[in-house]
Amino acid sequence: MEPKLLLTPGPTPIPPEVTSRMSEGMIGHRSNDFNQLMENIQPKLKNVLGTDDPVVILSSSGTSALETAMVNLVKTQEAVVIIVSGAFGDRFRNIAKTYPVDVHIFEVEWGNAADVDEFEDFMNGISNVKAVFTQACETSTAVIHPLNSLGKAVKKYDEQTLFIVDGVSAVGGMAFNMAENYIDCLVTGSQKALMLPPGLSFVSMNDRARNRAADNDIPRFYLDINRYYDALEDQSTPFTPAVSLIQGLEKVLEMLESSGIDNVYTRHAKMRDMLRAGLRALNLEMLVADEYASPTVTAFKSNEDELSFIKKRLKNDFQITIAGGQKELKGQILRIGHMGYMFPNDMLRVLAALEAIVSDYREIKYYGKALAAAQEAYYE
């Protein structure tokens, strides 16, 4: 049978070298071997998150890192602004509503990026905002927000207001530089561009954010970031970590380094360009404007019947899994993930399959059209 191809925006395929490293055997988490592993990982992990500050590793999924940012960086009754442009902005909203904080939502139409002028006006209408939360890539719509301009706007409002970014579906697939983009806290997860199984998440804070976390009254235990910083001083973790995943992480970071991290980011951008050109050649409409299109996930539109036909046929006849729309975009889009252990050849495979499926559905022959457009996008 043809090998399966998982093209979802997380979880993503795991390189065999990483699976192999994860099964080399357990080590004690209070051992020198584990301390050495943690020490090896830090500099490489900092490079991927674009920071000189330590990166905390949590043994829990991405949402725990979002919640860690919220409970450590916002105090009781403080005002926060959350940019909500899709399902994961909504996740931040729901986390914030769980705690006694004063939540203000900057709503963005799903499929659009935040408009910086409108965002500035919104901020100026609220006094004493202590933190702004956004996604880098809103996975549910495949939008990349203009982080640099948003970060600049946050600091123009007040230098002390924290800019907190969810990079779960972006880190590892595009370059980050926390300082250059005014990011005080960046969080991410293991199961997307970082080519690992689900189960780890990562939090990096600059000094401003760390000071805020050190002096916070909101009750918390497992997600108290201060415990993790204390343990990190000794290359350790406060609780039993997901040791095998951390072993796999070391391999992932070695692979990214040996590929050249910039080449990895270029490959992601190429896959985006190939897909967008190929899908357009099939007369499938993009949800997101080129300017804000993510290098890690692509969303396209059609009528509900055609989308359902495409998704089923890809899975049943071509062993390719892609994702549907979430919440209000359910039935309106399909999403193809292209992050982590995915390559331009995988884009050609899915586009060739789509040519056949769309040709069947519309009774118009599209053979070669998407492939030609994608190859042109790749080579030009």
Smallest separation (angstroms) from ligand PLP to the CB of 136: 8
Residue 266 structure tokens: 């270029």
CA–CA separation, 119 vs 7, rounded Å? Answer: 33
Query: What does the longest C-alpha to C-alpha distance in the chain come to?
Result: 64
Smallest separation (angstroms) from ligand PLP to the CB of 91: 6
Smallest separation (angstroms) from ligand PLP to the CB of 134: 10
| Nearest Cα residue to 51 out of 161, 179, 147, 148 | 179
Counting DSSP H helices and E strands in the chain, the numbers are 13, 15
| Nearest Cα residue to 66 out of 227, 249, 203 | 203
Asked if 61 is part of the footprint of ligand PLP (rule: CB under 6 A), the reply reads yes
Pick out residues in 185-244 that bind ligand PLP (CB under 6 A): 189, 198
Pick out residues in 284-313 that bind ligand PLP (CB under 6 A): none
At 99, the amino acid letter reads: Y
Among 63, 141, 149, 247, binds ligand PLP (CB under 6 A): 63
Among 149, 169, 204, 247, binds ligand PLP (CB under 6 A): 169
Asked if 67 is part of the footprint of ligand PLP (rule: CB under 6 A), the reply reads no
CA–CA separation, 198 vs 220, rounded Å? Answer: 23
**Region binding ligand PLP by CB under 6 A among candidate stretches 62-70, 100-108, 238-246, 366-374:** 62-70
Asked if 89 is part of the footprint of ligand PLP (rule: CB under 6 A), the reply reads no
CA–CA separation, 259 vs 5, rounded Å? Answer: 22
Asked if 168 is part of the footprint of ligand PLP (rule: CB under 6 A), the reply reads yes
Asked if 10 is part of the footprint of ligand PLP (rule: CB under 6 A), the reply reads yes
Q: What is the DSSP string of 91-151?
A: HHHHHHHHTT-EEEEEE--TTSPPPHHHHHHHHHTSS-EEEEEEESEETTTTEE--HHHHH
Tell me the residue number closest to ligand PLP, measured at CB. Answer: 62
Closer by beta carbon to ligand PLP, 40 or else 61: 61
Binding-site size for ligand PLP (CB under 6 A) equals 14
| Nearest Cα residue to 185 out of 73, 88, 80 | 73
Asked if 94 is part of the footprint of ligand PLP (rule: CB under 6 A), the reply reads no
Please state whether beta strands 323-324 and 201-205 pair in parallel, antiparallel, or not at all (unpaired).
unpaired
Asked if 62 is part of the footprint of ligand PLP (rule: CB under 6 A), the reply reads yes
Asked if 135 is part of the footprint of ligand PLP (rule: CB under 6 A), the reply reads yes
Asked if 88 is part of the footprint of ligand PLP (rule: CB under 6 A), the reply reads yes
List residues binding ligand PLP (CB under 6 A).
10, 61-63, 66, 88, 91, 135, 139, 166, 168-169, 189, 198
